[in-house]
Amino acid sequence: MEASAADLGWLAWLDRHDPVVVRREAFSPLEPSLIAEFPDPPEEPIIIDPGTLLGPWTLWCRARGIQSCVVMPVIARARVIGTIGLATSTARALGHEDVRQLALVSSLAVHARTYEARLAGQRRLFAEVSRSLENALALDRAIRQPPTYQEIARAVGDSLDGSYCLIAICDSQGALTIRARGGHRPPRRRGVASWPLSRLRGCARALRERHAVVLTFGQHDPAIAAERRALFSSTTQVGAIFPFFAGPRTQGVLIVGEERRSRRQPLSPERIAILELVASRIAHVLRISRRLEYERLAERRRQRQLTIERQRLAREVHDGVGQALSTLLVQVRVAMAEGTAGLDDLQLLERAACRAVDGARAVAYGIRHLERGIGALEEARSFAETMLRSVHCRLSWTEERNDLKIASRVLREIAHVIKESITNVVRHAKATSVRVRVEYPDGQIRVTIHDDGIGFSLQEARPTSDGQGLLGSSERLARVGGTLDVRSALNGGGTLVLIEARRH
């Protein structure tokens, strides 16, 4: 425009509403806001002057006070996609030289539009993969709390620009099993979630070649018919299979399905590369999760070995020191009963022996939890084993495998109530066996303690001198939203204690 006599110039695309309008001066005779509502683009460049024959563009110029105008179609791939033009309020100010300038600018505009479209596509792809990598596939989050297959699939399905996605794992028998689904409408097969890999040619090829496989379902193809029935919905237009390898014995595929007809065109190399990156990150997260699981199992084994060693030492202390002192105590009491020793002397010896026995038991219990950082439930178990062994009572402790996070305050209060219940068994129940079961149903932790003792009357139960007992235990659990239920009966019915609380 600056190289011509035009007052203003414009560039308008057919698929966009707002044209780009530039004027030479701030106070141009032509109003830029009127440069809109264009006629259909001309097939060839046209020059409009006062003597030009009437036509759509001539009428458009007169309605806006334009005396001279040059209009040129913008063409890309033999198709008109917009118009570009110059206009002025001075008659016959524009001519063929301006047409040649606009032809050059038109070509540059097409290149700029193509570049912007590619850049916008790359930004969408980057935003798409960023949402996946920053949500369930973030490495720092995977280290803190390893995600499940379903959490990964949900995050990938919500962030990827596709109708749905599936995560499938190939086992050692050569079967592919769907572990999780995500997206808007993932396909579901009732009663069937595993298929032989030999029937799924696309998945087998992707795992064998370690490269993405794209399937187009425009027409019936017997070679991929079984794969479509097994993994994709009936309305899927394009499917893509991306392999990932989380270790020598763990390999799987990320399956992405597109049901929208507008996205039926083949996937671009850039999009395939982005989705391969997502599949690779899935493998990385699974490797981290598996490694953390191995470390947790090793830590459990180490803690169990420490517990066994503490129990061995406790038995030695109890069986050696405790039994010897107990024997002394029995002899002193026999002497007192037979009257062969002075009463004051024997009473003094009895009190000393009782203190020694209590000290031996305390030392035995202390050895069991010398290791710092032992869990509250493990400490309660060690306490129960020590206390019940001292009265020759068997303990059966069963705990479900638990990878769930439980609030430390809840564990502390439950462990305290368990120890209080075991103490009551030792003091009053005269039981020969105690069964403890720890379960984790539906967001809760449940502990059941059952003994085969003499039982007691709930109406006659009173708080103990140290403030514990049933009332104190109930108050402790109430502080963490838990409950205590005790069922017992006299005449050898035993006692059942049920402890429940939410994990968080």
Enumerate the domain spans of the chain. 8-130, 139-292, 389-504
Q: Region 171-183: what's the mean pLDDT?
A: 89
Is pLDDT above 90 for 56? yes
Say if residues 269 and 120 touch (Cβ distance below 8 Å).
Answer: no
Indicate the CATH number of 389-504 among 3.30.565.10, 1.10.287.1770, 3.40.30.10, 3.90.1300.10: 3.30.565.10
More confident residue, 288 or 98: 98
Q: What's the fold here for domain 8-130?
A: Beta-Lactamase (3.30.450)
Q: What's the fold here for domain 139-292?
A: Beta-Lactamase (3.30.450)
Q: Region 189-207: what's the mean pLDDT?
A: 86
For residue 49 the two structure tokens come to: 């002057």
pLDDT in tens, 63-103: 999 999 999 999 998 899 999 999 999 999 999 999 999 99
Q: Do 139-292 and 8-130 have the same topology in CATH? A: yes
CA angle 36, 39, 45 (to 5 degrees): 105
Query: Is the full-model pTM beyond 0.95?
Result: no
Q: Residues near 89 by Cβ (< 8 Å), separated by ≥ 6?
A: 7, 29, 30, 65, 66, 67
Q: Which amino acid is at 446?
A: R
pLDDT in tens, 366-381: 555 554 445 788 888 8
- Residue 217 bridge partners (DSSP): none
Task: Quote the CA–CA distance of 69 and 95 in Å, as a whole number.
Answer: 9
pLDDT in tens, 114-130: 888 877 777 776 666 66
Q: How confident is the model at residue 234 (pLDDT cuts 50, 70, 90)?
A: confident
CB-count exposure of residue 311 (10 Å: 0-12, 13-18, 19+): middle
Q: Residues near 5 by Cβ (< 8 Å), separated by ≥ 6?
A: 68, 88, 90, 93, 94
More confident residue, 182 or 137: 182
Residue corresponding to tokens 């399937």: 215
Q: How confident is the model at residue 229 (pLDDT cuts 50, 70, 90)?
A: confident
